[in-house]
């Protein structure tokens, strides 16, 4: 009886020890960046936390359609996306309000990530807020087209839009795991269609 008790205790201790090691391993990989390149997350970790067609269609990890949006592959990607979201998102939130801004983001994420999964290879990993940024660009484009004849300084507005569009997608394309072209097109389509779907036209100028 004493032997069984000791064996059981040893097994529980070993199992607990192994579990703790496993948890510590994954926590370390997720929280800390790869030692060899401290500004980039380990690629094995990216494959576990990012969105890909295999994870969604075969493993039914539908939650990644949302969670992958808030994850980034490196610190530069975080800084650049945050900069653009603060500048572009502030304008939309000011004109549409917080509630509609959240709806725009959700719609852009849904369209962008679904198209990303549908058009990417099975094990291609993507993440980041590029669908949301694309949705904002689509919303701007829709407003310019609808209110074209009401615009006073058309040349300046088109110039600013083209500069913002090109600079945004130049920054997006620099980094890997940052969405594919059709995923960003899905975000743009979500932004363009938002005022028609929800019959909302609050953004002027």
Tell me the pLDDT tens digit for each residue of 39-83: 566 667 777 777 888 878 888 888 888 888 888 777 888 888 888
pLDDT at 14: 47
CA atoms within 13 A on the CB side of 43: 5
Encode pLDDT of 145-194 as tens digits.
888 888 888 888 888 888 888 888 887 777 777 667 788 888 999 999 98
**CATH number belonging to domain 49-198:** 1.20.1540.10
Domain definitions of the chain by residue range: 49-198
Mapped onto helix, strand or coil, the DSSP state of residue 29 is helix
Tell which wins on pLDDT, 45 or 128: 128
Q: What is the pTM of this model?
A: 0.72
200 confidence band (pLDDT: 50, 70, 90): low
**CB-based contact 188:136 (threshold 8 Å):** no
Token code pair at residue 58:
């075969």
pLDDT digits (tens, 9 = 90+) for 81-117: 888 888 888 888 888 888 888 999 999 999 988 888 8
The dihedral through the CA atoms of 47, 52, 55, 56 has a sign that is: positive
b/e 45-58 (16+ beta carbons within 10 angstroms → b): bbeebbbbbbbbee
Kindly give, in sequence order, each residue whose CB lies less than 8 Å from that of residue 22, ignoring residues fewer than 6 positions away. Answer: none
CA count, 13 A, side-chain hemisphere, 82: 9
């Amino acid at each position: 009886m004493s032997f069984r008790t000791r064996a059981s205790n040893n097994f529980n201790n070993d199992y607990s020890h192994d579990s703790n090691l496993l948890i510590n391993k994954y926590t370390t990989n997720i929280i800390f960046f790869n030692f060899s390149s401290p500004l980039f997350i380990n690629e094995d970790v990216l494959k576990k936390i990012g969105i890909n067609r295999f994870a969604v269609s075969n493993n039914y990890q539908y939650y990644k359609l949302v969670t992958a949006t808030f994850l980034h592959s490196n610190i530069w990607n975080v800084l650049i996306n945050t900069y653009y979201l603060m500048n572009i998102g502030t304008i939309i939130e000011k004109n549409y309000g917080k509630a509609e801004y959240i709806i725009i983001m959700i719609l852009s994420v849904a369209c962008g990530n679904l198209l990303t999964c549908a058009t990417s290879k099975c094990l291609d990993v993507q993440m980041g807020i590029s669908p949301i940024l694309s949705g904002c660009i689509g919303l701007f484009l829709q407003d310019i087209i609808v209110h074209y004849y009401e615009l006073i300084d058309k040349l300046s507005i088109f110039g600013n839009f083209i500069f913002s569009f090109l600079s945004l997608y130049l920054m997006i394309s620099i980094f890997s795991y940052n969405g594919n072209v059709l995923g960003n097109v899905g975000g743009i389509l979500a932004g363009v269609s938002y005022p028609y779907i929800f019959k909302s036209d609050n953004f002027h100028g």
